[in-house]
């Protein structure tokens, strides 16, 4: 922006990010992705104001659509029921299979949010994951690496309510093509197409029209 003679502070740029991320998030929240029946959950640590926090994420196995996220202060003991509850709301359904590591808080939340008293409708919770073999969590680890790369260049996030994480979730789902999805975005595989060469601009324009 300096090359075209425009001087703005980093705070102004962050305010723009917050404004347009909130606008897009409200618009996209009303669109239901057509995700599959197998979901994955995992956590990775982040630095927020120098303190270690954990980002819990819920992702669809088939489309790699990032369904929901939650920031918590602890690992293995954090209450992740809100994460699973938000996943049900966004997807409009429960998964038939949930794949996680062996952390007890995942299983507690699974039983309370996804399990069904009727046994023939009970989903399956797979906790015995390995780095190799048929049941692993490599897809989640790949997404964790994406988030880590973004957070690393910012030298830690400054606020638990930062728009950066929501913005990156939008980027992952609607902007970034994935080689494993034949260079399509998770949203496209989930039945949501965002047209135009600049998908950020398309999302902002669509969201602005919807608000009006």
Domain boundaries, the chain: 34-200
Query: What was the pLDDT predicted at 210?
Result: 73
- Give the rounded percent of residues in the chain with a pLDDT score beyond 90: 55
Residues 8-30 have a mean pLDDT of 92
pLDDT digits (tens, 9 = 90+) for 134-187: 566 777 777 877 777 776 666 567 777 788 899 999 999 999 999 999 999 999
End-to-end CA distance of the chain: 29
Whether 66 and 88 have beta carbons less than 8 Å apart is answered as no
CB atoms under 10 Å from CB of 20, counted, come to: 18
What average pLDDT does the segment 28-50 reach?
A: 91
Tens digits of per-residue pLDDT, 110-124?
Answer: 999 998 755 556 789
Q: Which residues of 92-109 are buried (b: 16+ CB within 10 A; e: fewer)?
A: eebbeebbbeebebbeeb
The pLDDT of residue 76: 84
Q: Is 60's pLDDT higher than 90?
A: yes
Q: Does domain 34-200 have CATH number 1.10.10.10?
A: no
Q: Are 14 and 74 in contact (CB under 8 A)?
A: no
pLDDT at 115: 83
Give me the count of residues in the chain.
212
Judged against a pLDDT cut of 80, whether residue 129 lies above it is answered with no
Tell me: pLDDT of 75 over 60: yes
pLDDT at residue 47 above 90?
A: no
Cβ atoms within 10 Å of 122's Cβ, excluding its own: 13
What average pLDDT does the segment 180-206 reach?
Answer: 95
| Whether this model's pTM surpasses 0.85 | yes
């Amino acid at each position: 922006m300096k090359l075209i003679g425009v001087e703005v502070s980093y705070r102004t740029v962050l305010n723009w990010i917050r404004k347009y991320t909130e606008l897009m998030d409200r618009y996209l929240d009303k669109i239901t992705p057509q995700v599959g029946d197998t979901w994955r959950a995992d956590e990775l640590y982040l630095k927020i104001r120098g303190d270690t926090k954990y980002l819990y994420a819920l992702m669809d196995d088939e489309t790699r659509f990032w369904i929901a996220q939650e920031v918590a202060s602890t690992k293995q003991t954090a209450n992740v029921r809100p994460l699973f509850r938000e996943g049900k709301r966004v997807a409009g359904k429960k998964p038939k299979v949930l794949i996680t590591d062996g952390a007890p808080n995942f299983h507690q939340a699974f039983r309370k949010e996804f399990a069904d008293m009727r046994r023939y409708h009970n989903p399956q919770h797979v906790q015995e994951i390995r780095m190799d073999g048929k049941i692993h969590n490599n897809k989640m680890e790949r997404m964790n690496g994406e988030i880590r790369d973004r957070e690393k260049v910012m030298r830690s996030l400054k606020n638990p309510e930062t728009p950066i994480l929501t913005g990156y979730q939008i980027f992952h789902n609607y902007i970034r093509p994935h080689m494993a999805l034949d260079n399509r975005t998770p949203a496209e595989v989930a039945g949501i197409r965002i047209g135009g060469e600049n998908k950020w601009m398309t999302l902002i324009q669509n969201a602005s029209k919807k608000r009006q």
